[in-house]
Amino acid sequence: MSDATTTPERPRRAPRKAPRKALVIGAGIGGLTAAAALRKAGLDVEVYERAGELRAAGSGLSVMSNAIAALDSLGLGIDLAGRGQTLESYHVRTPRGRLIREFPFPEIIARIGAPSVLITRADLQQALLEAIEGIPIVTGSTATAFEWDETGADDGGVRVTFADGSEAYGDVLIGADGFHSAVRRQLVGPEDAQDSGYICWLAVVPYAHPKFAPGSVIHYWGAGRRFGLVDVGGGRVYWWGTKNMPAERSRSWKGDRTEILATYGGWADEVRHAIEVTPDDAVIAVPSQDRAFLERWGRGPVTLLGDAAHPMLTSLGQGCCMAIEDAVVLGRALAGAEDVPAALRHYEDLRRERTRGMVAASRGISTFEQSETLIRRPVRDAYFRFMPQRKLTRMLEDALTFQDVAP
């Protein structure tokens, strides 16, 4: 899951009288971080968001040390730990709560020197919005198409058309518009999502339980189902649950807490308590999906980042972290670059192997963790229980280390 060992040659730079303009499609975590990184790189930035208002749904995120280090490199002064909760312990347990393995996150985090922060998506989004104050964000703007003059007669600029007929023009276009990216669709054509065979239930609720300590992340592994409790600060917990399910049903699930409680019948008290204190309308249900890894993320003055470029399953908790890393490296690549397409290809080359490894690892671990048969379940538990500490530490430290590139 590490970056490539060789760094691609950097495109040449030259001073430019007028700042270039970057159009960022999508105001999610990746898009907002990209706006901050591109402004720091000296570009004028405009952000376009298809939603009618900036409102984050109620899920939680792990902003791991690699993403914290990436954000810190921008000098934004964001105190995420003050908005969420620093990770203090990470346990994997059986459905009844017996310990399978404690992961050495605290010692790795201390060695790296950057915390890992557990936070709600809404709180992270608000922090980024404050950090990019002054950058225009146009809501209710659904991008439908883009074009640029590949002959170079128009200085390589790109024009974006929106569903309401309006247009925007810039020097570079960043598709940060998520799993169903319109920018990606025009670049590579229609694609099928890869369903991983289970549903994810998500919620953030006020929560307290004597078996759940502050700063905790606890995963519970059963047969074809898992559950997670994550302290996101402010007396709140982010919980998630999974259950193996045919794709047709997971894509259109219309159940309620009764089904969720039945899924975790007999599980640890703290698991069932989290579900019991959750209102029905606070539960978000999403199918677990990713896509085949995309080798080419862009052409000309257009590129992708985050879920638009490399959607991944959630098992590593690195989805938003990879988007943040992408955004920071993109800003580095474009800072002062004379040749925009070359700078974008350089960014893509820098990020390809790191993200490819994360996508593959997330899918592999997800499949392993969702094991349901009587043969695979004990193998899964034994594998993690008896993995040498050195191997586990090396694997985690590799994921938690942001390999920056020179500005």
DSSP annotation string for 275-291: HHTS-GGG-EEEEEEE-
**Residue with the larger pLDDT of the pair 152 and 66:** 66
| Euclidean distance between CA atoms 340 and 304, whole angstroms | 14
| Amino acid 155: pLDDT | 60
243-263 pLDDT, tens digit per residue, is 999 988 998 898 889 999 999
Give the mean pLDDT of 308-317.
94
Secondary structure class of 99 (helix, strand, coil): strand
| Euclidean distance between CA atoms 212 and 270, whole angstroms | 7
- φ and ψ of 194, to 5 deg: -95, 115
| Amino acid 16: pLDDT | 47
Indicate if the pLDDT at residue 83 is higher than 70: yes
pTM over 0.85: yes
22-48 pLDDT, tens digit per residue, is 999 999 999 999 999 999 999 999 999
Rounded to whole angstroms, what are the CA distances from 176 to 90, 237, 371? 31, 28, 33
Read off the tokens for 123: 């709180």
212-221 pLDDT, tens digit per residue, is 999 999 999 9
Report the range of poorest mean pLDDT among 2-11, 183-192, 230-239, 290-299: 2-11
Look at the block and give the residue holding tokens 């430019």.
Answer: 16
- The rounded mean pLDDT for the chain is 92
Provide the pLDDT confidence category of residue 384 given band limits of 50, 70 and 90: very high
| Amino acid 150: pLDDT | 74
If phi over 0 gives left and psi between -120 and 50 gives alpha, with beta otherwise, what is residue 156?
left
Check residue 18 and report its DSSP letter: S
Which parts of 283-329 are beta strand (E)? Answer: 284-290, 302-304
| Amino acid 404: pLDDT | 80
